[in-house]
Amino acid sequence: MVSKPGSRNNSAPDLVDFGMFQLSALAISDQLRQELKQIVSSKPYPLLIIGNEGSGKHTIAKCLAASYLCDSVKSDGSACGTCPSCRMILSSGSHLDLVILDPGPSGKSKVEEVRTEVAGRIFEAPRISHNKVFIISAEKADTLSETCQNALLKPLEEHPAFVRFIIFCEDSDRLLTTIRSRVQMLRLGQRSDEEIRQILNEAGIEDPAAKSFALDCSDGRPGLALTLAQDEKYRQIYNESLKLFKAFPRENRTAFLIGGLEFFKANKENTDMIIRLLQSFLRELSLALLADKRDRVQTVSQVFSDKELADWAKLKIDYEALLKLLSESRRALSSNTNYDHTISRLLLQMRAKITAAPPGS
């Protein structure tokens, strides 16, 4: 999808709260904050933002675009939020001097769009701001084809001083060497738990279980953390995973070979997430059993009731062995082992270790 000047693009809702488009409002490390400040104030060299899905590429790209378009940038590089350019973004979710070439997560840009919307308009003078900004997605391997990249080469190298380019992708190695040689690169790493918590708090996520789930399964990626905490589908996976975990002390082998395996197979694309959740429940159980009752509220997120903890406390549980088993299963699945066999083995071994069931039961 090409976002033309004055039109509302798919990302418009993110622009409603202008605070989200100020660098000072981002939950990021001091080092990254300084890098972004330097980018805003430095020579207008095309920028390539590199990061895994959910790492915050889109948000940072929009923050930088707002700063580039702002008439009165703050000392920390943030857009002021009050100038005509900032007010235009705030009111309409777009800007006359902002062009976004982004077909979405499953789409592909067309070479005609690159030639028309980028190469064909690069020498148009800004209408409102002192700069003109182009945001271009090369998100996935095939989002921006080799033909599209070749059409970008001349604009990236020969453009007016008022033009700012922001490109983002997951893997820079999939871009042409000639593209990489024309840009400065900004790599986004994982965010700390503290930064993720701040992002979740700012998004209004109050449920402790949702926060814990997002922290455990997002790998420090803020976009993914927000999705996990807010999407009902993932919330259901969390609840079903917890139900499965709590069944280990009481259900028989058949229940896991049928119901447990079917749950995994029905959510096969989220298998790694489910295993990570089981690891998280083990850690929380361990902490809860070690904590005094009066400290339990501060120690865990109320995953287990007092009665459940009392029942679990009667079992002999080798937490280290169980966590190792879960980690080994994750590695085995990443090596394309037989899915049904690996999951069945995982479930039965977890049941045996948690229940200490005698052989042949």
H or E element that contains 347? helix 339-355
Mean pLDDT by 10 residues, the chain (361 residues): 40 39 78 90 89 84 92 92 89 86 82 92 93 92 90 93 94 91 89 84 81 80 83 88 92 92 94 90 86 49 80 88 92 88 95 65 43
Q: Is the dihedral of CA 110, 224, 77, 89 positive or negative?
A: positive
* Exposed/middle/buried for residue 61 (C-beta within 10 Å: 0-12, 13-18, 19+): buried
Dihedral class, residue 61 (left if φ above 0, else alpha if ψ from -120 to 50, else beta)? alpha
Q: Give ranges for CATH 1.20.272 in the chain.
A: 231-355
Q: Give ranges for CATH 3.40.50.300 in the chain.
A: 2-187
CATH of domain 231-355: 1.20.272
CB 72 within 8 A of CB 209: no
- The reported pLDDT for the residue numbered 356 is 53
| E-only strand ranges, 36-162 | 47-50, 98-101, 132-138
- The reported pLDDT for the residue numbered 289 is 84
Assign domain 2-187 to its CATH superfamily.
P-loop containing nucleotide triphosphate hydrolases (3.40.50.300)
Beta bridge partners of 186: 49
Query: If you write DSSP's letter for every residue of 254-295 in order, what string do you get?
Result: HHIIIIIHHHHHHTGGGHHHHHHHHHHHHHHHHHHHHS-GGG
- The reported pLDDT for the residue numbered 169 is 92
Q: How far apart are CA 268 and CA 264, in angstroms?
A: 6
Q: Is the dihedral of CA 216, 219, 222, 225 positive or negative?
A: negative
- pTM recorded for the entire structure: 0.63
- The reported pLDDT for the residue numbered 6 is 39
